Structure formats: C-alpha cells, structure tokens
Amino acid sequence: MAKMPIMDRSISGVTKGREAMLNLKHLDYFYEVARCGSITKAAQNLYMTQPALSKAIHQLEDDLNCKLLNRTIKGVSLTSQGEILLDAVITSMRLLERAREKIAELNDEMSSCVRLGAGGDTVNCILLSLLNTFAHENANVTVQIKEYSTSRGIKALLNNDVDIVFIHSYVEGGDVECRQICALKQILVVGERFSYLSMNKGLSLLDLSNQPFITYTEDSAKRNMMCSFFEKQKFACQITYEVDNTETIIRLVEMGKGIAILPEFYVKEFLKERRLFQIQIQEEIPDSCVWMACRTKDDSSDASNQLKEYILNSTYNKFSHP
C-alpha cells in the first residue's frame, strides 16, 4: 500500500463527546498500521512504543465493536471491517486535504486584498487617482472601498472590517495609529450669483456675516474644523444648508444657494471653468488635513503594507499645497 502523501503524520485534535465519536488520532494510527502491515514498524514511524500503539488500536476496535486487524507472527492484515474503515479514512484524508488547499487559496486571496474606508469626497478627489496608478503597478492586489464618516470608519477599523481608513481629524488612542497624508488648502467659494464678492480683495470674514453659508452636517470632522475657525474669529454665520457630502455642497454653491469653505483641490476645475469663484479674505483658513488611520497591532497583510507605503510616498507632494 502506497503511503498517502496528502496528510501530515497525524490528524491534529481529539474529538470528545458521545460514545459514537471516534478518536481521530486512533484513526491516523490505524491508517499507518494498515499502510505498514506491521504494528512494530508503524510504531517506529509514529515515534511511539509498540504497546502504546497496540492499545490505541484495541481501543478503536472497542469503539467500533469489531475486529479491524488479523494479527499473525508475520504482521497484520485487514479484516473486512478494517477494509471498510481504511477506505473511509483515505476518503476523509483526501477531503481534508482539499479543504486545506481551498483554505490556503482563500488566505492567499485575502492577503492580496486591501479593504479601505473613506468619505466619498476623499475617495473621489484623492484616492481614485492614486489607486488607479497603484492597481496598474500591482495587478495582483484587489482593493475594496467602503464609505465611512470619521467615527464610523474608526469603529470599522477597530472591528477589523477595514485595513486602512482615511479620516479628516486626528484620532488619539492606543489601538489606532494616525499618519497625515496631506494638508489641503481651504478656500471660500461662491457661485455666479455671489461672484461680486470675489472682486473685493480686502474682505474680512466678518464682512460675510449676512451671507448664507452651506456646511457639512454636525457629525462631520470638516464641520467641526470650520466651526472652530469661526469661533476663533468670533464669527457667527447663517447656515442655510447642512450637507453630508462635498459633491452636493459644490452643486448648491454653484446654484447660488450660499458660500462654502472647501478644499481648493476639490474645486479647481470649477474655478477654472468659472462655475465657482473664490472669495479672498484677510483671515487665514486652516488646512483640511487627511489622515491615514491603521491599527497599532501589526496584523496587516503584505498588500496592505505595500499600499500604505505607496500612499505615504505619493499623496503629500501631489495634494498638499506649498
């Protein structure tokens, strides 16, 4: 009988429970005895004593309530029941090996898949161009993108639902590590209806106190940044719209519904096409920083680490203003 090449020498684990359950190690021992045709030789291969192996085989026979081996001076041979059991053991070994191969394939697929979390505007304005180049250079890596706010993104990161999350505020904590990937210049923009405001170069923020503003929703990190800036300037704005995504804010501004603070990078094409106009004010608007957050525990795949390095090396020079 040829030795089965598909399994390690033992099937790990012992199944405990009802009397009908068999000891998996005893089945492995039985297979080796049947393969060798000798309990003594099988014991040597299994690195155990002959009495211990004989005891295990007897226990297996007791569990099945039948004789599995014909024992002679020359060695052992299988009984009819032993032939049936051997066939079942070999079939089980092959099934387990197939399962192991499929699991290994799945592990390989998972190790080449990177799960990202980010806000929609970050995806559309920053990540897509980067990922397009990364995907071209790393065709074996699959990138999954899920949209999250900062708070939901951090929760997903800690729950291991994503590998990397891109957020607009720094998060402190022992389980999360944040690295700034870019600092986006923020500007005040208006549509054609309020374009006259862009012609006056000496305006201060307070000169806009009677103008309508369009902002992000209250749970947004970008809204918190804007409010902090306004409070510092002792400026109370009139908010007419609260929106949870940048695309809609741009559309509302273009329609003439109000003024908004947005990253210049997001609206540069609109400014070039004169669909939006920049209001120059005396005060300096803080940059909008984008952070890459990862778990501090180093459990990232090679593909994930590869993408992290690529993003860190690419984003700052490409998206940050001087």
Q: What is the CATH number of the domain that holds 197?
A: 3.40.190.10
Strand-strand pairing, 113-118 and 164-167 = parallel
pLDDT in tens, 161-214: 999 998 888 887 778 888 888 888 999 999 999 999 999 888 999 999 999 999
CB contact set of 117 (below 8 Å; sequence gap of 6+) = 145, 146, 147, 148, 153, 156, 157, 161, 162, 164, 165, 166
pLDDT in tens, 267-290: 999 999 999 999 999 999 999 888
pLDDT of the residue at 311: 85
Q: Is 52 exposed, middle or buried (0-12, 13-18, 19+ CB in 10 A)?
A: exposed
pLDDT of the residue at 229: 92
In contact, 295 and 206? CB cutoff 8 Å: no
Question: Does 94 share its domain with 137?
Answer: no
* Nearest-5° Cα angle at 127, 126 to 133: 110
Q: Is 286 exposed, middle or buried (0-12, 13-18, 19+ CB in 10 A)?
A: middle
Question: Does 59 share its domain with 143?
Answer: no
Residue where a domain stops, chosen among 109, 134, 167: 109
pLDDT of the residue at 9: 39
Backbone torsion region of residue 243, taken as left when φ is above 0, otherwise alpha when ψ lies between -120 and 50, otherwise beta: beta
Q: From first to last of its 322 residues, what are the pLDDT tens digits of the chain? A: 544 443 443 333 334 444 457 888 999 999 999 999 999 999 999 999 999 999 999 999 999 999 999 998 888 999 999 999 999 999 999 999 999 888 877 666 555 788 898 887 777 777 887 788 888 887 778 888 888 887 888 899 989 899 999 888 888 777 888 888 888 899 999 999 999 999 988 899 999 999 999 999 887 888 888 999 999 999 988 999 999 888 899 999 999 999 999 989 889 999 999 999 999 999 999 998 888 998 887 666 778 888 888 888 876 555 555 5
> pTM surpassing 0.85?
no
Question: Does 76 share its domain with 103?
Answer: yes
Q: What is the CATH number of the domain that holds 85?
A: 1.10.10.10
Give the total number of structural domains in the chain.
Answer: 3
pLDDT of the residue at 139: 77
Question: Does 172 share its domain with 215?
Answer: no
pLDDT of the residue at 183: 86
Residue where a domain stops, chosen among 109, 140, 155: 109
Domain encompassing residue 45? 24-109
Backbone torsion region of residue 312, taken as left when φ is above 0, otherwise alpha when ψ lies between -120 and 50, otherwise beta: alpha
Pick from 245, 253, 288: which is nearest to 270 by CA? 253
Q: Locate tokens 């990202």: which residue?
A: 116
Q: Is 32 exposed, middle or buried (0-12, 13-18, 19+ CB in 10 A)?
A: buried
SS3 category, 38: coil
